[in-house]
Homo-oligomer: A and B are copies of this chain.
C-alpha cells in the first residue's frame, strides 16, 4: 500500500492528537506523532497530515519559549525525523512545526516524501498571540507537484480567507493539506447539529474549488487553550468523505481519494464549469484592494 507510482487513488490520513507546549514535552510530541504516523501507514495511508505545530504544542508563554522550541526547516531535528520517516515508509507527510530562520520565527507546514524534503509553506494569516511570536508568511501559497498529485498547504486561520484555497486551486492543487490548531472561540461555535464553523469553511472551500481538503486539527487543552478536533477529509463536492472527528478523541481518519477527479469539471451540467465561469474581467484587481481603499458607490 505504500506504492507511489500511481497517481490515484491515494489513501489519505488525517491525524488528530494532543501535543503539549514546553521543552519537557517536545520529545514526546515528536515520538508520538511518529507513532501515530506509523499507525496510519499500517492503515494503508500514502499521504498523512499532522496538525499545525505538531511538535511544539501551541500555547507558548512568550517569544523566547517559541524561539527555543523552533527549529530550522528542513535541517532541524523534528523535520529530519519526519523526513526519515517518509523515506523509510515511502509515504508523503505534511507536518506543522515552528520554524526558526535567523531571528525570525514562522508557523510552518512542511511537505516531505519518499525522496525527502519537498517544500514548505509559512502561515500567511496569523491568529491572535501568534502575531507576537511569528512573522507573517512570505512564501506565497505554493502548490507542489508530486508523483501522487499536486499538493497545496494551508494553516488554520487561512481557511477564513477564501482567497487561500482559491489561489491554491488556481494553481491546480488536487488536494489541500489543511494543518490546524482550531481553537474554541466565542459562541456560537457550532450549529444546532454540532457542526463547527471550521467544518463549514472546509466543506465550502472544497466545494467551490473542486479540490480535496484533508484537514487535521489537534484536540485537548494546552495551558488553558481548548481545541476543537473536528478533523475531516472533504471531497471535491465539499461533503466529508468519512466522519467528522469529535473534539476529544485521538484518532486517524482515512479516505481513498481519486485525485484525477479534482482535475475534471464538477458534473453540474454541460454549460457550467466553476473555474471557467469566474468573471476575472469583473473582479479586476479589486480583490487585492484594502477594504478602505474601495469606497462604496
Q: Describe A's contact surface by its main secondary structure.
A: loop
Contact bitstring A259-297, B, C-beta under 8 A = 1, else 0: 000000001110110111111101111111111001111
Are B297 and A288 within 8 A (Cβ)? Answer: no
A261 to B295, CA, bound (A): 18
Contact of A170 with B286 at beta-carbon distance under 8 Å, contacts A131-B271, A186-B267, A271-B128 already known: yes
Q: Which of B127, B150, B238 contacts A200 (CB 8 A)?
A: B238
Are A296 and B124 within 8 A (Cβ)? Answer: no
- Give the interface size class of chain A: 35 or more
Contact bitstring A69-82, B, C-beta under 8 A = 1, else 0: 00000000000000
Chain A 199-215 residues near chain B, CB threshold 8 A = 200-201, 203-204, 207-208
Q: Is A137 an interface position by the 8 A CB rule?
A: yes
Q: Is A115 an interface position by the 8 A CB rule?
A: no
This protein's copies in its complex:
2
Contact bitstring A139-174, B, C-beta under 8 A = 1, else 0: 011111100001000000100111100110111110
Distance to closest chain B CB from A271 (angstroms): 5
Q: Which of B140, B188, B280, B291 contacts A172 (CB 8 A)?
A: B291
Are A191 and B296 within 8 A (Cβ)? Answer: no
Query: What residue of chain B has the Cβ atom nearest to residue A287's Cβ?
Result: B287
